A and B are shown apart, each in its own frame.
Chain A
Amino acid sequence: MSILITTVGILVLIYSDNYMSHDQGYLRFFAYMTLFNISMLGLVTSSNFIQIYVFWELVGMSSYLLIGFWFTRPIAANACQKAFVTNRVGDFGLLLGILGLYWITGSLEFRDLFQIINNLIYKNEVNLFFVTLFALLLFCGAVAKSAQFPLHVWLPDAMEGPTPISALIHAATMVAAGIFLVARLLPLFIVLPAIMNGIAFIGIITVVLGATLAIAQKDIKKNLAYSTMSQLGYMMLALGMGSYRAALFHLITHAYSKALLFLGSGSIIHSMEAVVGYSPAKSQNMVLMGGLTKHVPITKTCFLVGTLSLCGLPPFACFWSKDEILNDSWLYSPIFAIIACSTAGLTAFYMFRIYLLVFEGYLNVHFLNFNGKKNSSFYSISLWGKKQRCVLPGPLVLGKGPLNALTPTPDMDRTVSRRSEPSSRTALMGEQPNPWNILQPQVAKSRHRGAKPSRRCPGTSLSPRQCPDRYAFRAGRNLPDKEFRYLRTVIVTPPFTGASVVGSPVISAVAPEPASSGFEWHFTPNHNSSADSSTSVGSDLHLVSPKLHPGHG
C-alpha cells in the first residue's frame, strides 16, 4: 500500500508540475499535495486506532483543501464542504467505534485488541450485540471514506478539484483508505458473520449503483468517479466475502488503472479547454468530444490501456484481480456472483462508452458553432506529432513551439514583445499527456459585446491578407486555472495600424466566451491601457499577456 501511494504520488506530482504550472496557487497546490502524501503514508503505517484516526482526519482535511483548491468557484466551495461533512459522518462512526472497542477491550493497539476480542467471543464473555454495533460503526468510517452506498454522494462532487487530485486522492489512494481500514480490521470483522454479510451487501449495492450511474453521465470526470465507486464496491464485496487478498490486489491494480485514466482525462480536458472554453461543464463534457484520436494519440493509447485494464481484459492487471473477486463470489453466493458478473459487463460498457465518445467519431464541437465558422475550432487544435502547420506566413510562423517560446515568464503582467522564429518543435514533453502547447489562432472576433463583424476572419489558414488589420490569437496553451487564467494573447498588428484602433476590440477579443462559466469578468480600464500600450508600437507581433484580475475589478 505504501508502495502504491509513493509511486502514484510521485507520478501525479510530476504530472501536476506541468498541469498546474500556470496556476497562481502552484506553491499552495504542492504544499497540500505533500501534506496529503504525508498523512496518507501515516495512515497506512499506523498500528493503533488513535493514530489511524488522526491521519484519517488529516487525509480528509487535505482532501477538503484540495477539492476547494479553486476557491473562487462556488461549486468547488460547496463540493469541498460537502465532502468534508460527509466524511465527518463517517468519522463520527469511526470515533464511536474506536471508543466502544476501547471500552470493551481496554486497548487501542490492533494486535492486542484482536486477540482480546477473539478470546472474549470465544469464551462468550461479551455481549455480541455491542461488538457488532461497534464494528458496524467502524465500518461507517470506511463507508464514508470509500464512497460506499449511503455515503457516496461526495465523490462525484469532489471532481471539482484539479484533475491530478482526482487521480491521486479520489481514485487511487484516499478512497482506498476505507478499503484498507476494513482489510486491516478484518480479523475483527471476520468473527462477526453479520458484519461480513453487511459489508458484502453494501459492496454489491455500490457495485451496481456506481455502474448504472456511470452509464448516464456526460461529464468525463464524474463518469470516472462513478466508475471508481463501482470498483470500490468490488473491493468491499471481496472483503465481505473474506477474500482479503483479492480485495487488496484489486485495490492496487485499480488504483494504477484509474490514475492512468484520470491523468488521461486531465490531458483531454486541457485540450478541450482550448477549444470549447474553460467551463468544466463544457470542457469535461463528453458530448462535445469525439475524434480526438487524431489529435492526442499518446493520450489515446494510454487511455485505451487504462480502459482495457479496467474492463478486465486478460493481459492487463485488473483482469487478474477482478477475476479473482468474481471467482470468489461464485463460491460465496450465486446471486451476488451473477450481479457482480453482469456489472463487470456494465463496466466494459461504460468504459468503452467514454472511450468511444472521446476518441472515435468526429469532433462534435463545431456543431455548436452556428456562426458560420465551422472549421476554426477544428483546425485550431494543434496536433501533437502531426506536421507543423503554418499559421502565419513570413516570419511569423507560430507553431507549437517549445514550451517557453510563447509562454510568458512568470511575471505575466509584462508585455513580451517578441518576434517568433519558426520554431523547431522539439518540445519533448515526455510521457506527460500535455500536448496542447499550441497557438490557437482565434480570429479577433468577439462573441459578445460589440464586435464588428469585419473583425471576424473566416477560415483558419490565416494570413494577413485575409485579415488585414490584426488578429488576436489566444495562445491556447493550457490555461489550467479556469478562472484565474492569464490569457496570453498574441496580437498581430501590422505596422500601419495605429494605436487608436487597438483599444476595446482587442480587449473584447481577449475576453472569453460569455457563457463559458458563471464567472463574471470585469474588464476595467487598466486592462485596456495595458493592451493599448502594448499594441501601440507598430511591431509585427506582440505577445500581450494581461493579467486578468479574477473578478474584482
Chain B
Amino acid sequence: MNSFPWLTTVVVLPIVGGSLILLFPHKGNKVIKWYTICICLMDLLLTAYVFCYHFELDDPLIQLTENYKWINFFDFYWRFGIDGLSLGPILLTGFITTLATLAAQPVTRESQLFYFLMLAMYSGQIGTFSSRDILLFFIMWEFELIPVYLLLSMWGGKKRLYSATKFILYTAGSSVFLLLGIMGMSLYSSTEPTLNFELLTNQSYPLALEIIFYMGFLIAFAVKSPIIPLHTWLPDTHGEAHYSTCMLLAGILLKMGAYGLVRINMELLSRAHSLFCPWLMLLGSIQIIYAASTSLGQRNLKKRIAYSSVSHMGFLILGIGSISDTGLNGAILQIISHGFIGAALFFLAGTSYDRLRLLYLDEMGGMAIPMPKIFTVFTLLSMASLALPGMSGFIAELIVLLGIITSQKYLLITKILITFVTAIGMILTPIYSLSILRQMFYGYKLFNTPNSYFFDSGPRELFISISILIPIISIGIYPDFIFSFSADKVEAILSNFL
C-alpha cells in the first residue's frame, strides 16, 4: 500500500489543479472560486486520510518515503517523507489555505490568476514541509516566494509595490545564505554531493565550519520566521497584503522559518546549536518585549497585529533555544497555535477593514453595536492571543516557560532572568490586544465614513471564524493531540544533544 506516492500526490495536486484554472473560460468568478475551494478541500481531506491510515504516530522515523531519481547528473532525488515534526504544519497548511481561499471570495479582479497563485503557494508550502532532500527543500522554499510576491504586488493596498519589493529583497537575500549553506553542507567531505537529510544527519563537520553553516541557515530562517533585527519586512507586508494573503503569511509562512530552524539547525547542526542557543534565548526574550512594546505604538491595525505575531514568534525561538523536551514541544505547539490565532486575527482585521475602510485605530470606535458577531469573535481571539487559559496560546506559552525552567543547560540566573523578561511580555500582551479591542469596538463614536451603516459578518465569515476558533479552543483544552504528533520526534532530536 505504501507504494502509492501519497505525498507526491498531495504536493502536486494543488498546482496541477491550479494550472487547470487558467484553462477555464472567462465565465465569471463563481466557478473558479468553488473549484479552488474544492481542490483545497480535496487536498486537505487527502492529507488527513493519508495521515490517518498510512502513518503511524509512535514511530519517530521518517514515513511515507518516496525516492525518485530526478537528475542523474548530480544525484538529485525527488524525495519526500514526513515525520511527527512535519505532520502538524502540513495539516495546518491545508486547513488555513482552505479557509483563506474561502476568505478570498470578495476578490474579483483577475481571479483566475489569484486562485492559481493561492494553489501554487499551497503546493510550495506542503513541499517545503515534507521534502527529505535538502535541495528539494530549497527549491520548494523558493518556489513559494513567487506567489507571495505576486499576490502582494497585485492585490495589496496602497503601498503594495514598496512592501512587495521589500519582501522580495529580504527573502531572496536570505535565500542566498540558505543556498550557500546547502551547497557547503552537501559538498563537504565527498566528491559526490550528498543531499539526503538522513545522510546529512550523521555527518559531522569541524566546529568552525559548522558554525559558519549554522550562521547561514540562521540568517535565512531568521528572516522568514522573523527574529529581530530582521523582522522589518513583516509589518509592511502584512499591512499591505490582502487579508487572505495575510492569513497565509501569518499562519504558514512564518512557521516555515521555525520549521527550518528545527529541521536543519537543530537536527543537522546540533553542536553549533548548543553553542548558539543561549543567544537565541536572549534574542527571543528581547523580541517578545520589543515587539510587544512596538505594537503598542502602531496606529495601523494590521501592523499592530503583525507586531503581535512577531512577539509571539519570540516564544517559538525560546522554545527552540531551551534544549529541553518540554520547551521544544511547546515551540511546536506554538507553531500550530499561532498559526490559527494569527490567521484568524488577520482575517478579522481584514473583514472589518472591508466594512470600515479605515486603517487607523484612532479613527475607529463604537463598532460593537453594528457588528456584534465580529466583536464577539474578535474578543475571543484577543483572549486567545493574550494567552487566556483554555485557549491554545496559553498552553503553548506555559509549556515553553516550563521548558526553560526545567532545561538543564542553563545557569540558574540565566533561567530566572529569561523567564522574568518573558513574563513581562505577558503583561504587555493584554495591553496592546485589549487596546485594539477598546479602540475598535468600545465607545460610541460615530464614524466619519461616507457609508455609516455596516453589515455584521455573514455566514461565510462566521463559518471561517468559527472553524478557526474550534481548533484553538480544543487544543487549549486537550493539547495532547498535538503532542502525540511530535513527542517522539522531539525526543529523537534531543538525543543528539546529550
Contact = CB atoms under 8 A, between A and B. Distances in A.
A72 B423 contact: no
B383 interface: yes
Contacts of B263: none
Nearest to B442: A77
Interface residues on chain B, size class: 20 to 34
Contacts of B452: 552-553
Contact of A72 (B369, B389, B390, B398): B369
B388 interface: yes
Given A88-B427, A99-B405, A552-B369, A81 B435 contact: yes
A68 B442 contact: yes
A483 B389 contact: no
Interface in B415-429: 415-416, 419-420, 423-424, 426-427
Interface string A491-535: 000000000000000000000000000011000000000000000
A103 interface: yes
A103 B438 CA distance: 37
A551 interface: yes
A120 to B, nearest CB: 16
Interface string A84-107: 110011011001100110110000
A161 B273 CA distance: 52
B349 interface: no
A95 B446 contact: no
Contact of B405 (A73, A92, A103, A551): A103
Interface stretch (A51-59, A293-301, A373-381, A441-449): A51-59
B444 A72 contact: yes
B370 A72 contact: no
A44 B166 CA distance: 53
B368 interface: yes
B389 A54 contact: yes
A30 interface: no
B366 interface: yes
Contacts of B368: 71-72
A294 to B, nearest CB: 37
Contacts of A102: 402, 405
B47 to A, nearest CB: 33
Given A71-B442, A92-B423, A99-B419, A85 B366 contact: no
B443 A58 contact: no
A550 interface: yes
A520 B444 contact: yes
A96 to B, nearest CB: 5
A85 B370 contact: no
A74 interface: yes
B388 A72 contact: no
A41 to B, nearest CB: 15
A91 B426 CA distance: 9
Given A72-B443, A72-B444, A85-B431, A551 B366 contact: yes
B430 interface: yes
Contacts of B388: 57-58, 61
Interface of A is mostly: helix
A78 interface: yes
B467 interface: no
B441 interface: yes
A483 B415 CA distance: 50
Contacts of A81: 430-431, 434-435, 438
A454 B257 CA distance: 77
A103 B405 CA distance: 6
Contacts of B424: 92
Contacts of A519: 444
B274 interface: no
A388 to B, nearest CB: 39
B401 interface: yes
B406 interface: yes
Interface string B331-354: 000000000000000000000000
Contacts of B431: 81, 85
B427 A54 contact: no
A223 to B, nearest CB: 26
A364 to B, nearest CB: 30
| Chain A CB within 10 A, most for which of B370, B402, B434, B441 | B434
Contacts of A91: 426
Contacts of A95: 398, 401, 423, 426
A71 B370 CA distance: 13
Interface string B386-425: 0011100010001001100110000000011001100110
Given A53-B389, A58-B388, A92-B424, A72 B442 contact: yes
Nearest to A81: B434
A85 B438 contact: no
A77 B423 contact: no
A125 to B, nearest CB: 15
A77 B419 CA distance: 31
Interface string A296-322: 000000000000000000000000000
Contacts of A57: 388-389, 394
B366 A552 contact: yes
A72 B434 contact: no
Given A53-B389, A61-B383, A71-B368, A88 B446 contact: no
A103 B406 contact: yes
A411 B431 CA distance: 39
A72 B372 CA distance: 12
A100 B398 CA distance: 13
A97 to B, nearest CB: 10
A552 B438 contact: no
Interface in A14-59: 50, 53-55, 57-58
Nearest to B386: A88
Contacts of A71: 368, 441-443
Given A68-B442, A71-B442, A58 B389 contact: yes
Interface in A192-246: none
Given A57-B389, A85-B427, A103-B405, A96 B442 contact: no
Contact of B427 (A58, A92, A520, A552): A92
Contact of B426 (A92, A520, A551): A92
A185 B383 CA distance: 28
| Chain A CB within 10 A, most for which of B415, B430, B431, B435 | B430
Interface string A257-284: 0000000000000000000000000000
A84 B434 contact: yes
A77 B420 CA distance: 29
B389 A85 contact: no
Given A54-B390, A88-B426, A96 B419 contact: yes
A304 B296 CA distance: 48
A552 B442 contact: no
| Chain B CB within 10 A, most for which of A53, A55, A95 | A95
A53 B402 CA distance: 14
B485 to A, nearest CB: 22
Nearest to B434: A81
A469 to B, nearest CB: 34
Nearest to A51: B389
A68 B383 CA distance: 14
B430 A99 contact: no
A552 to B, nearest CB: 6
A519 B388 CA distance: 33
17 contacts: A54-B390, A55-B389, A57-B389, A72-B368, A74-B443, A77-B443, A81-B431, A81-B434, A84-B430, A85-B430, A85-B434, A88-B427, A88-B430, A550-B444, A551-B444, A551-B446, A552-B369
Given A81-B434, A95-B423, 14 more contacts: A54-B394, A58-B389, A72-B444, A73-B443, A74-B443, A84-B430, A85-B431, A85-B434, A89-B427, A92-B427, A102-B402, A550-B369, A552-B366, A553-B452
Interface of A: 50, 53-55, 57-58, 61, 64-65, 68, 71-74, 76-78, 81, 84-85, 88-89, 91-92, 95-96, 99-100, 102-103, 483, 519-520, 550-553
What are the 8 tightest A-B residue pairs by CB atom distance, in nearest-first order?
A: A77-B442, A54-B389, A551-B444, A72-B444, A71-B442, A81-B434, A57-B389, A77-B438
